Structure 1
C-alpha cells in the first residue's frame, strides 16, 4: 500500500478526481528528470483510450495505457494533464515536393514550414531541409534516433521528365527503373500512372508486365519490367484500372493518395473504397502547394469530402487518421519506429486540444477523438514532440519547453515555438523569408486553396 501512494501516484489520483473544466492541457507536476507523462485520450490503431497515459523517457515511449501500469516509475517526471485533449502520433506526409513550396515569382527557400506546426513530424518530399520535420527520404535528415534506411522517392521512374509519353510500348529511354534496382531498395516510393489517359495507363503496364514489351529500343532500354512488390508505394496512380489495383493488392504494394491535387488537376481521384476493400495500405500525402493541400488536415478534409460526394462512402475519421500515421509509417518503411504510440517507438507526439463551447459547426473535429486530431486547425495544437523534444507548446504549458523559444500568435491562441536552436534562425526570420507566400500559421481554411470539387467536362 505504501508503494502505491508515492508522490506521482498521489498526483495522478488528484488528476483523475479533479479534472479541469478547460479543454487545454495543464502541468500538474514539473519534474527534473526530463521524463514526461502525458494523460488524456490516447489514439491507437485499436481505438481511442480514454483516461490513459503515454510515458516518455530519453526520447522514446516506455509506457502506453492505464496509469496504474507505471508502477513506481516516473517519480521525477513532469506530468501533463490533457484529459480534454487527444494524444496522437505525429503525422507522416508521404507525398510532397518541398522544392515547390514557394510559388513564382517568390524565391524558392525549400521548406514548407507549416508542416511541423500542423502536426506533421515526418515528411517524404524529394528534397531536404534540416531542423523541423524528419526527412525520411534522406539519411542525413532523419533526426533524433532513426537508423539509416534507404527510402527512394522517384518522381520519374521511367525517366520521362522531359515529357516522353508512350502507348503500346516502353520506349521511354535507356535509364528507366528496372526490377533488380527497385526490389533492392528498402522502400521505393514512385509516381506511376499519373494522369487519366492511355499514356498514364501505359506507365503501369510497363512497370508490371515483363511480357508487354520485349523489343529493345534503338537507343537502349525500352523493355517492360515488373517492380510491383511489397517495398513499392505508388504515388498518384490515377491511370490504373481496378484490375491493376488487384495486382497491387496481391503483391502487397501500397498507394499514396493525394485527392486534392487529383481533383484540381484531373477532376477525379482514386476510388479509395475499392482500394480499402482490396486490402491495400493507403497513406495520405499533400503533393505540392500549387495544386495540393497546405496541411495534412486539409488533405484529410478533402479526402472525406470526395469519398462521400464522388463515391458515396463515409470515410471514418479513424481511417483518415490511420492514413496519416500508421499506414504512412508502413509506406515509409519505419513502422517499427514511427506512426503509432507503442513502447519502444520514438516519441513523435502531437496533442490536439478538445473542442470548446465556442467552436462552431464548421469545426470538423467533433466529438470523434480521431476527427479531433486529423481535422484540427493549427491553433488547436497544444504540443508537438519530435523525439521527445518539445518544438511547439501552448502558452499554458510553456514550462515544458527549453532553449530559445518565441511566443507566437496562432489564430486566437498563443504558442511557444522552439525552433531557433534547430534551424539557426528565429521563427520571425523564417516567416519573413516566405515573402508573402502562404503564412506559417494558416487560418482554418487556407487562402486560395485549390478546389476539391469534381470538374465538369463538356
Structure 2
C-alpha cells in the first residue's frame, strides 16, 4: 500500500517535470523551511528553528532539544503555552504563574507590605496595608474663635490640648501636661493641673519637636548651588573635581550670627535639636556639641571623614586610605557615632562600608548611624540591621548630587532604623519640613507608598532621638521626657500628615524644654506674657519668635549682622531648591551611564511605572524605583538572586522566603516594647518597672527610688560627688547650695554649717562649669542637672542647668584653717578640700611665676589669679598674716584662689631697703641729717 502511494507520487513528479511553463522559463528551486522536501533536503518542517527535529538546513537533528515556548510540555517544564512571554499564566521559564495576591510574601503594586500571611494586627494587615496606630478618643474640644489654638494664661505648669501623637497611639482631644521645670508630667486623656496655663488646639496636632540628625551649619551662609544636569558617582567627584567632573566650591565659613540664622530656619520648621557639625548658643540643642541648652547628654561624635580621606582618595578594594582611620576601639565609649559612609553609587563608595566593617576599623556597631549609605547592597543593609547600625538618610542632597539615594525600602525591610537629615543648604533642604516633603514625594511616586506617614514622621522624632542616643529624654511625648513640643495646624491634614506635608504657616507653636520659642503671635504672646518677642508675617499668618533672651539680640539686629543671606522661609517652593526628582541623563561633561548604569529622567510612564529607565517587562521591581547603578555591574540589584529586586523584595536576602526574620529597629533592646514607649530604651525591661514613677525604668534609672523627671539629675550631696560615691558621668542634682565665688566660666558652691546635710569641711565644695552664668557670690541655687566630670584631675560639674532660688548676699562659711603644705599639690588634705574655702596663716612668698600671675608661699603652696589678681603683685620675701580663698586644682597643681584683696591679709612690714650704705653724722650730733646724703629707710608697705 505504501509502495503504491509512493509510485503515484513518482509518476506525478515525472509528469510535472515533463511539462514546460507557458513562457518556457526555468522552474524555481525549493527553499528550506517552505514545508516541501526539495532536492537536497531530507526534511522540511516549515521553519528554520533549531531543536524541533529538523535543522535550519532541513536535515534531521539527532535528538530534538526541549525548548520553553515550543508548545510541547517537556521534562522540567510545568507548562508551555507556545510563547516566551510572562504574565499570561505560564512564565518565560515555563513555570506556572500564580496571580499576585496578598499574603504571598511579595510586595506587589498597590501593597504597602506582605509578610507572607493574612493575619491581622501583626504589623501587616490582611489587605497588605500596614497596621494602623491605636486611636483613643478623649472627647471633643470646644472650637476656638480664631486660629488654631487659644490660650488661657495661668502659672507654673502648661496643659496643651489637641490631637496628641504619642508613641503607638493617637489621642483625639488628648492632653500633654508640662511641669514648671519643662518636663512632661502626663500624656493622655485625664491630665490636669490646677492653675496651669491651658493651650487648647482642637485642630492642632501636638508632636514632639523635630530633630535634624545631619547638617553642616558652618556652610549655612550659602545659598543653594546652581542646578545642572551633571550627576556624580562619588562625593570626591564634586569635592575635588575627580574623573573630569565639575567641582562644587562652597565655603564653610559661617559666622556665629549666620549659624544662628541657619538655626532659625530649622526652628521655624518645627525643630529644636540638630547634629550640625557646628553650633551657637541659644535656639537649637546642638547634640554633637556642648551647646545642648540644658539637655546634658553625651555629645554625638560626628565624623565627616572616618577614613581620613579628605584629600579625595578612592579605593575599590582594601583599606589603604590613611594611617589614622577610625578604629572600633575609638568609639567604644561613645553613646552615638555618626560617620559619613558610602556617599556615592560606584564601587569605591561601597568599599568604604566594606573597609569600616573590617577589623580593626570595624565601626559597624549599635552606637553607629551611617550618614548617606547610598552605595550599598541588600547584604550590607542586612549587616547593619544585625549589628544595630542605623541609617541617616538625606534624600534631597543625594538626588541632587547623584540622581539616586539609599535603597531605603530594602533597608527598612531588613530592620535598619532610619532617621532624616538635611545635609547642607548647598544641595540639601533648608529645613526638616522640606526634607520630609522630599521623602514623602519619593515615597509616593517612586516607592509605591512603602512608608506610612507615621513612619516618615518617626524619622524626625523617635528614630532621630534613638540614633543620637537622646531617646531617654527627647523624641517622644511620654512621661518624664523633656518637653520639646511642636504644634502643627491639622485643619487640612490629619495626624502625622499634618507634619509630613506642613507648610511654613502651619507651624503653630515650638517649645524647647517647656519654653515657647516660636509660633502663632497670639499664642506666643499669651504664653510669654509681658516678654517681648519679634513679630513677623509668615505666609499671611502673624508669628512671633523669641530671640532676645536666647541669643542676646532681636530679629532686626540679627538680620543686620548676617547681611544678604538665604531667607528663613518661603511660602511656595523655595528659590533654587535642590532637586528631589531622581535623574541621570547627562551626556556632558561626564556621561551619566557608567559601567552599564541606567540612564533615566525620573518621569514615570505607562511603560516604565517607576521612572527608573527600565521598562516594566524587564524591570525586577516594576513599581519601585531601582535603576542599575555603577556599582551593580550592569544588572539591577538582587541580593538573593530570586528575580525580585532588592527594592521591592519582601525578603531581600532570603531567596524564595516569605517569612523574613528581621530585627525591629524601633525596639533596640529587644524587650518587646518599642523605644518611643519604652521607659528604658537601652536596657531590656519588659515589665517596665518604675519604682519612683518618674518615667525612667528602674534598670536605667540611676536613682530608682528618687523621682527625677526628664533631664533632672539624681538628688545627691556635694559630699557624694567629691568623695567618689557618685561615678563620673552621672547626671546629678543639688538643692539649695551656696555660691561662694564665681568667674566668667563657672562658680564654686559649698555646704555651709547649719545646712541640713552639713557633715564637715572635707569634700563640702565643688566647682560648677557654667559659662555665661548669672549667679553671684552669696546666692542660693538649685542645680537641676549637671554631669559629674573629671577635668584634668579636678572632680567638677559640667553642662549645668542652674536656677537661682535666693539672692540675699548670704555670707560664705568660715574658711577652714589649714597648714600650707597640707593643701599644696598632692598634700594630705588637698583632695578633700578641693573646692572648699580655706585659710593659711603666717606665710612668706618664696617664689614667683609671673607669666601665669602666680606666686608661691611657705609649704610650696601656689596662689593663683582665677578670681582675683593681687595688686600690687607680691615679691619674694613678702609676708602674709593670712591668705584665704577657694582651693582649686588647675594645670596639675593645687592652688588657692583669693576672691578679693580682703583675702590677702599682709603681715608686719619688713625692711625693704636702707641706705645709702656710706652715711655719716658728726660725733655729738643728734637729730641731724646724714652726710653726704640723707639716710632712707624703705619698708615693704
Partner of 2:580: 452
Q: Check the 8 A contact 1:404/1:421 in 2, yes or no.
A: no
Q: SS of 2:496's equivalent? A: helix
Moved over 4 A (4+): 104-107
Displacement after TM superposition at 1:51 (Å): 0.4
Q: Say whether 1:80 aligns with 2:229.
A: no
Matches within 5 A, 1:41-440: 41-57=163-179, 58-66=181-189, 68-70=190-192, 74-103=193-222, 108=254, 109-111=258-260, 112=262, 113-138=264-289, 140-144=290-294, 146-210=295-359, 225-355=361-491, 366-397=492-523, 398-402=525-529, 403-440=531-568
Q: State the Cα deviation string for residues 90-118 of structure 1 (Å, max 9, x = none).
A: 10000100111112689723341200111
Please give the alpha-carbon distance, in whole angstroms, between the structure 1 residues aligned to 2:141 and 2:313. 67
Q: Check the 8 A contact 1:89/1:350 in 2, yes or no.
A: yes
Q: Decide which of 138, 143, 147 is 1:19's aligned counterpart.
A: 143
Larger-gyration structure (1/2): 2
Q: State the Cα deviation string for residues 224-268 of structure 1 (Å, max 9, x = none).
A: 521111100000111211111110010111000000001000000
Please give the alpha-carbon distance, in whole angstroms, between the structure 2 residues aligned to 1:177 and 1:107. 26
Q: SS of 1:99's equivalent? A: helix
Please give the alpha-carbon distance, in whole angstroms, between the structure 2 residues aligned to 1:22 and 1:413. 12
Q: SS of 1:303's equivalent? A: helix
Q: State the Cα deviation string for residues 282-334 of structure 1 (Å, max 9, x = none).
A: 00000000100111111111112223333333422111110000000000000
Q: Check the 8 A contact 1:122/1:135 in 2, yes or no.
A: yes
Q: SS of 1:415's equivalent? A: strand
Instruction: List gaps (5 residues or longer) in structure 1.
Output: 1-14, 211-223, 356-365
Q: Which deviates more from structure 2 when the two are superposed, residues 443-452 or residues 401-410?
A: 401-410
Displacement after TM superposition at 1:162 (Å): 1.4
Please give the alpha-carbon distance, in whole angstroms, between the structure 1 residues aligned to 2:570 and 2:391. 28
Please give the alpha-carbon distance, in whole angstroms, between the structure 1 residues aligned to 2:560 and 2:205. 32
Structure with greater proportional helix content: 1
Q: 1:407 to 1:17 in 2, by over 3 A?
A: closer
Q: Check the 8 A contact 1:56/1:347 in 2, yes or no.
A: yes
Q: State the Cα deviation string for residues 110-130 of structure 1 (Å, max 9, x = none).
A: 341200111010000111111
Partner of 1:4: none
Displacement after TM superposition at 1:22 (Å): 4.6
Partner of 2:818: none
Displacement after TM superposition at 1:431 (Å): 2.9
Displacement after TM superposition at 1:434 (Å): 3.7
Q: State the Cα deviation string for residues 190-228 of structure 1 (Å, max 9, x = none).
A: 101111111111111111023xxxxxxxxxxxxx52111
Q: Name the TM-score, length of structure 1 as normaliser.
A: 0.86
Please give the alpha-carbon distance, in whole angstroms, between the structure 2 residues aligned to 1:230 and 1:123. 20
Q: SS of 1:432's equivalent? A: helix
Partner of 1:31: 154
Displacement after TM superposition at 1:47 (Å): 2.7
Q: Check the 8 A contact 1:178/1:225 in 2, yes or no.
A: yes
Q: Check the 8 A contact 1:190/1:234 in 2, yes or no.
A: yes
The count of corresponding residues between Structure 1 and Structure 2 is 413
Q: Check the 8 A contact 1:431/1:439 in 2, yes or no.
A: no
Instruction: List gaps (5 residues or longer) in structure 2.
Output: 1-138, 223-249, 586-598, 600-941
Q: Name the TM-score, length of structure 2 as normaliser.
A: 0.43
Q: Check the 8 A contact 2:164/2:205 in 1, yes or no.
A: yes
Displacement after TM superposition at 1:384 (Å): 0.9
